[in-house]
Homo-oligomer: A and B are copies of this chain.
């Protein structure tokens, strides 16, 4: 792989302080699956009673661990649960061997930890099409078990990285019935980012108590507003997985609790935006706010057409306020638009309205604005009340450097 040594200029200053979640313990290890000199396997063990919800890629070529997780989500919920993740190898497009690898790993985790095999969830991320050397993972399970700790979630975030240049974590706390409920999560992802159901690898933990089907429903709703609203390069991974685990250790029932749902959305959006901020080669973080569409769905189609346009992403890289390309993307998206009702803004600068450039628009203002690291492109269709916000990054030489010689 290419040596990715430079941290994204859009990275947060440091990994955030995350609250320990009662009922969850982590461990990481160097198993040498593919990478050398870094951790590449993480194990999370969850106390009995934990509800586990999950959303996954809808790719028709999804990886063996994804298929295994999808079978298990919503199944028996007795006893403890476990999540094992390796980086370096995606165990995707590996035929029957891939399924055998998942079976070997999940059975070994079950034997070592005492977690029922139907509650052992795995993810693999990295190169596609090469057999997973699962023996290297199994050989480390005792070491992982003995290293389990409540306080090493940052290590877990590091162990699951591939082309990521920084580990990603986020948290929130919310008061319910006078008690504090905590949520903490980690994610990985940098390229092949255009989630279509869930995204990349994301693990979120809470000590709230939420019954599995309610947790699953909440996760689906929030995913559509967070991870399904980001894109780096329009390419959807074969391994996208998001697991949300509610241990119930706080004793607080958060089922249907609006404050909890909002806190969860905050964490998910933070993790999703960090993935964009680590977009391969990214130098700009771009929020695209679409309003005035016929429907919310139409607004999202327009937003993603803008976010995925190579011509817009390169213009942003070049700090060029090229609003003509925004017009182009809206035009091609397929969702309803009327050229003569459209308005476009960069930050607070109204660029175009009523089918033409705004009379007050001065290109030098927009050119100055484009120099910022975080940008907002606003589009109002002038048709209705539909709205959506999506997030993306620019397309730079860095993306090409990373992807023209990295076998992912």
Contacts of A328 in B (CB 8 A): 59, 61, 128, 192, 235-238
Interface string of A311-336 (1 = CB under 8 A from B): 10011011010111101111111001
Of listed A62, A95, A235, residue having the most chain B CB within 10 A: A235
Contact B317 A404 (CB under 8 A): yes
Nearest residue in B to A351 (C-beta to C-beta)? B129
Contact A93 B356 (CB under 8 A): yes
Q: When chains A and B are docked, how far (Å) is the Cα of A318 from the Cα of B407? A: 10
Contact B95 A59 (CB under 8 A): no
Contacts of A362-385 to chain B: CB distance below 8 A: none
Contacts A332-B196, A339-B93 given; indicate if A327 touches B403 (C-beta within 8 A): no
Tell yes or no: A149 within 8 A of B by CB.
Answer: no
Contact B62 A331 (CB under 8 A): yes
Q: When chains A and B are docked, how far (Å) is the Cα of A407 from the Cα of B315? A: 8
Nearest residue in B to A239 (C-beta to C-beta)? B328
Nearest residue in B to A333 (C-beta to C-beta)? B60
Contacts A60-B337, A407-B322 given; indicate if A310 touches B92 (C-beta within 8 A): no
Contact B310 A403 (CB under 8 A): yes
Tell yes or no: A345 within 8 A of B by CB.
Answer: no
Contacts A324-B128, A328-B61 given; indicate if A399 touches B314 (C-beta within 8 A): yes
Contact A310 B233 (CB under 8 A): yes
Contact B234 A408 (CB under 8 A): no
Contacts A60-B330, A338-B60, A397-B400 given; indicate if A93 touches B236 (C-beta within 8 A): no
Interface string of A186-197 (1 = CB under 8 A from B): 000001101010
Contacts A59-B331, A311-B403 given; indicate if A340 touches B95 (C-beta within 8 A): yes
Q: When chains A and B are docked, how far (Å) is the Cα of A339 from the Cα of B128? A: 13
Of listed A61, A196, A233, residue having the most chain B CB within 10 A: A61
Q: When chains A and B are docked, how far (Å) is the Cα of A237 from the Cα of B355? A: 16
Task: Select A309's contact among B235, B331, B339, B354, beta carbons within 8 Å.
Answer: B235
Interface string of A81-109 (1 = CB under 8 A from B): 00000000010111111100000000000
Contacts of A194 in B (CB 8 A): 332
Tell yes or no: A24 within 8 A of B by CB.
Answer: no
Contact A324 B92 (CB under 8 A): yes
Contact A355 B95 (CB under 8 A): yes
Minimum CB–CB distance for A88 against chain B, Å: 14
Contact A403 B60 (CB under 8 A): no
Q: When chains A and B are docked, how far (Å) is the Cα of A333 from the Cα of B93? A: 16
Minimum CB–CB distance for A397 against chain B, Å: 5
Q: List 10 A-B contacts (CB under 8 A).
A: A60-B331, A61-B331, A92-B327, A93-B352, A192-B311, A196-B332, A236-B331, A310-B310, A315-B404, A324-B407
A→B interface (CB under 8 Å): 57, 59-62, 90, 92-98, 127-130, 191-192, 194, 196, 233-238, 308-311, 314-315, 317-318, 320, 322-325, 327-333, 336-340, 342, 352, 354-357, 395-397, 399-400, 403-405, 407-408
Instruction: Enumerate the 5 nearest inter-chain pairs by beta-carbon distance, A residue then B residue, closest first.
Output: A128-B324, A318-B404, A61-B331, A59-B331, A95-B356
